[in-house]
Chain A
Amino acid sequence: MGEAKTLFEKIWDSHVVEEQEDGTCLLYIDRHLVHEVTSPQAFEGLRQAGRRVRRPDATLAVPDHNVPTTDRARGIADETSRIQVETLEQNCREFGIELFGMNDVRQGIVHVIGPEQGFTLPGTTIVCGDSHTSTHGAFGALAFGIGTSEVEHVLATQTLLQKKPKTMRIAVEGELGFGVGAKDVILAIIGKIGTAGGTGHVIEYAGPVVRALSMEGRMTICNMSIEAGARAGLIAPDEKTFRWLEGRPMAPKGALWQQAVAFWRTLPSDPDARYDREVVLDASTIEPMVTWGTSPQDVVPITGRVPDPKDEPDPKRRAAMERALAYMGLEPGTPMQEIRIDKVFIGSCTNARLEDLRVVARIVQGRKVAPQVHAMIVPGSGIVKHLAEEEGLDRIFRDAGFEWREPGCSMCLGMNPDRLQPGERCASTSNRNFEGRQGKGGRTHLVSPAMAAAAAITGRLTDVRKLVA
């Protein structure tokens, strides 16, 4: 037996094609997800150089960022969006890549459909021209976002040139309190280590809380690794992982499945493996979380108040806080639960899976969205939408006054028509509260699906524990 290795190191080492003297590695990529926004220039590059796609069978494409979430029978109204989606379709035809088109039930947010189809598998390297590719790490894969030049590099060579990142282990010990979920855990982690806390690292999430989470919850945690600055986040695969994947359309079958599972069981970090950095969180201290500013690290428990920049000693950070509060239209010291909202967005690659929707349904069933609030739910994929409707969730949502939409990235980044108006305040289950992210001048408060549901009902940021007690 060799030296003890982490999960990350096992995956990394088994994918190095070649290592240069300076440590730059040629890393093999097993799975490549492609969407319409970050791929057109990459395909154009291939065409100009007369290159082909090396592994069309390891590549899967879907339009998600630009697609409308209302009636699709009329196509895409915005011309530039339509051209981008059509360009993806043409490129996939030309280069022989499987595409789930806008009207295919399997269409959805790229990070929802990868796992859903069993395209995402443990022990693999997965990339996509999208920073939230870290989501797939929930299955014990090394998954990270890349730029368009790297998309082209993967299309042409099925490899990437990479330096080995450092490792960080974040253990969440203890037990989660009532009304606290995966989104609160990752927001608390980002609040603790900061948006650059994971820079240069791959994070492995561990501990009893992570083990106890569903696959959906694990995806939520890994999804926001990038908001902690990390390239990737991953979680050791276990029986829960295998059960979740078994029988999915692109997952291995029969004897190959047995062989794969036997291999996947060897992946978890060895007990005495070492990490470059270790962080421990006590789950009992985590409350439902909400952001107050314009960076995901600007986060407080819902029972807290808007912080005062005067208390920040560092002048650059103080200036950033003052700017954030001015943008958010908030006064220091305001209790978070007194902040009124205009919109609620439940969706995104962070929180648009079936389990998220079930949580929302439990809270809003038999209640009504506050009269001044516009609330929408955008399922993560056509299949999530279909399953939710089979369970009757759509009726609960509609009866409560939510809009029930078609799947896509939607108001997480507002590339399609789903945007905040200037000054509008939104409780959102997405991942970024940057200035202008959900629409120019829009004000985003990041929350869990349960907290978004509670805010929709009361019309202000609300401690969900009060509604379900």
Chain B
Amino acid sequence: MQPFRKLTGIAAPLPLVNVDTDRIIPAHWLKTIRRTGLGVGLFESLRYREDGSENPDFVLNREPYRRSVILITGENFGCGSSREHAPWALLDFGIRCVIAPSFADIFFNNCFKNGILPIVLPQATVDALMAEAETASEPVFTVDLEEQLIHRPSGNQPVPFEVDPFKRHCLLEGLDDIGLTLKRLERIEAFEARQRREQPWLWTRAA
């Protein structure tokens, strides 16, 4: 996983609530057996017209937002299906940070596994950042994970944010969860030995 330390770039405003993962990437894109190449399907129903041409009204089809690396959006972003294709599509498009008042749980977790930082901020703060993303001539923000600060195009006071310390550590270092867990193999084996004794019915299929 690519480490996430400091991200500087355009932030796109997406003032929608309850954006579900079907909206982020529709089901027909899920037939892939790869993680890459999904950026073209990101927000398909919003981004393209009936004839397949780009919808010029959609934010990611307009300059400078075509080059967005940050998305600022409404509450309960990423609800619905557990599809990790949603963060894969965002990543493939180039987005590495999503700022919202709240996220759905599975999407939130999936982001961290892919080097994407989801940031939860109060509604009023999100509204203020979204307004800057809409109106600034060059809406460039810097998200600094080490300092836990968002620097804004207006030069106004940077916005602090909270992040789970372990998830922050993994993002900063680009750590592979599985590698970390496999270092705890002795503990897992001890757990299994105990469960096998105490709840043998869970092990009847085991050879």
Query: Which residues does A use to contact B, with CB under 8 Å?
Result: 17-18, 20, 22, 24, 26, 28, 30, 37-38, 40-41, 44-45, 49, 51, 55, 57-58, 65-66, 78, 80-81, 83-84, 87, 121, 123-124, 129-131, 145-150, 152-153, 156-159, 161, 163, 165, 195-196, 199-200, 226, 229, 231, 250, 252-253, 256-257, 259-260, 263, 295, 316-317, 319-320, 413-415, 432, 434-437, 440
Contact string against A for B residues 171-207, beta-carbon threshold 8 Å, 1 for contact and 0 otherwise: 0000001100110110110011001000111111111
Minimal beta-carbon separation of A32 from chain B (angstroms): 12
Q: Is the CB of B178 within 8 A of A38?
A: no
Q: B164: which A residues are within 8 A, CB to CB?
A: 22, 24, 163
A253 to B200 Cα, complex, angstroms: 11
Q: Considering only CB atoms, which chain B residue lies closest to A144 in the complex?
A: B106
Q: Is the CB of A49 within 8 A of B184?
A: no
Q: Is the CB of B178 within 8 A of A124?
A: no
Q: Is the CB of A156 within 8 A of B76?
A: no
Q: Is the CB of B80 within 8 A of A432?
A: yes
A161 to B182 Cα, complex, angstroms: 12
Q: B17: which A residues are within 8 A, CB to CB?
A: 316-317, 320
Interface size on B, residues (CB 8 A): 58
A434 to B30 Cα, complex, angstroms: 16
Q: Considering only CB atoms, which chain A residue lies closest to B167 in the complex?
A: A24
Q: A129: which B residues are within 8 A, CB to CB?
A: 82, 84
Q: Considering only CB atoms, which chain A residue lies closest to B123 in the complex?
A: A316
Q: From known contacts A22-B164, A57-B205, A435-B22, infer whether A131 and B31 are also in contact, taking CB-CB under 8 Å.
A: no
Q: Is the CB of A147 within 8 A of B31?
A: no
Query: Which residues does B use to contact A, with CB under 8 Å?
Result: 15-18, 20, 22-23, 26-28, 30-35, 45, 74-76, 79-84, 87, 102, 104-106, 109-110, 113-114, 164-166, 177-178, 181-182, 184-185, 187-188, 191-192, 195, 199-207
A26 to B181 Cα, complex, angstroms: 8
A-B contacts, 11 listed (Cβ < 8 Å):
A24-B164, A24-B166, A28-B188, A83-B31, A156-B178, A253-B204, A316-B17, A316-B74, A317-B17, A320-B16, A415-B31
Q: Is the CB of A229 within 8 A of B191?
A: no
Q: B80: which A residues are within 8 A, CB to CB?
A: 131, 226, 432, 434
Q: B76: which A residues are within 8 A, CB to CB?
A: 195-196, 199, 229
Q: Is the CB of B184 within 8 A of A147?
A: no
Q: B28: which A residues are within 8 A, CB to CB?
A: 414-415
Q: Is the CB of B187 within 8 A of A256?
A: no
Minimal beta-carbon separation of A315 from chain B (angstroms): 10
Q: Is the CB of B178 within 8 A of A152?
A: yes
Minimal beta-carbon separation of B26 from chain A (angstroms): 6
Q: Is the CB of A231 within 8 A of B102?
A: no
Q: Is the CB of B33 within 8 A of A231?
A: no
Q: A41: which B residues are within 8 A, CB to CB?
A: 33-35, 84
Q: B166: which A residues are within 8 A, CB to CB?
A: 20, 22, 24, 161
Q: Is the CB of A199 within 8 A of B105?
A: yes
A229 to B102 Cα, complex, angstroms: 11
Q: Is the CB of B104 within 8 A of A199?
A: yes
Q: Is the CB of B105 within 8 A of A231?
A: yes
Q: Say which residue of A121, A131, A149, A435 sits within 8 Å of B202 (CB atoms).
A: A121
Q: Is the CB of B177 within 8 A of A153?
A: yes
A149 to B20 Cα, complex, angstroms: 19
Q: Is the CB of B205 within 8 A of A38?
A: no
Q: A260: which B residues are within 8 A, CB to CB?
A: 199, 201
Q: Considering only CB atoms, which chain B residue lies closest to A320 in the complex?
A: B17
Residue among A121, A199, A319 with the highest chain B CB neighbour number at 10 A: A199
A157 to B186 Cα, complex, angstroms: 11
A316 to B26 Cα, complex, angstroms: 23
Q: Is the CB of A295 within 8 A of B181?
A: no
Q: Considering only CB atoms, which chain B residue lies closest to A162 in the complex?
A: B109
A86 to B114 Cα, complex, angstroms: 26
Q: Is the CB of A157 within 8 A of B178?
A: yes
Q: Is the CB of A147 within 8 A of B106?
A: yes
Q: Is the CB of B106 within 8 A of A196?
A: no
Q: B203: which A residues are within 8 A, CB to CB?
A: 57
Q: From known contacts A156-B178, A316-B17, infer whether A256 and B204 are also in contact, taking CB-CB under 8 Å.
A: yes
Q: Is the CB of B82 within 8 A of A196?
A: no
Q: A18: which B residues are within 8 A, CB to CB?
A: 184, 187
A156 to B76 Cα, complex, angstroms: 31
Closest 5 A-B residue pairs measured CB to CB?
A: A149-B113, A252-B201, A40-B33, A147-B84, A147-B110
Q: Is the CB of B106 within 8 A of A153?
A: no
Q: Considering only CB atoms, which chain B residue lies closest to A20 in the complex?
A: B166
Q: Is the CB of A38 within 8 A of B84?
A: yes
Q: Is the CB of A17 within 8 A of B184?
A: yes
A158 to B76 Cα, complex, angstroms: 30
A24 to B164 Cα, complex, angstroms: 9
A417 to B13 Cα, complex, angstroms: 35
Minimal beta-carbon separation of A322 from chain B (angstroms): 12
A144 to B187 Cα, complex, angstroms: 23
Q: Is the CB of B184 within 8 A of A26?
A: yes
Residue among B74, B109, B114, B200 with the highest chain A CB neighbour number at 10 A: B109
Q: Considering only CB atoms, which chain B residue lies closest to A431 in the complex?
A: B80
Q: A161: which B residues are within 8 A, CB to CB?
A: 166, 177, 181
A130 to B205 Cα, complex, angstroms: 24
Minimal beta-carbon separation of B68 from chain A (angstroms): 21
A196 to B187 Cα, complex, angstroms: 35
Q: Is the CB of B33 within 8 A of A44?
A: yes
Q: Considering only CB atoms, which chain A residue lies closest to B87 in the complex?
A: A147
Q: Is the CB of A57 within 8 A of B206?
A: yes
Q: Is the CB of B30 within 8 A of A415?
A: yes
Q: Is the CB of A131 within 8 A of B22?
A: no
Residue among B81, B82, B177, B202 with the highest chain A CB neighbour number at 10 A: B82
Q: Is the CB of A195 within 8 A of B84?
A: no
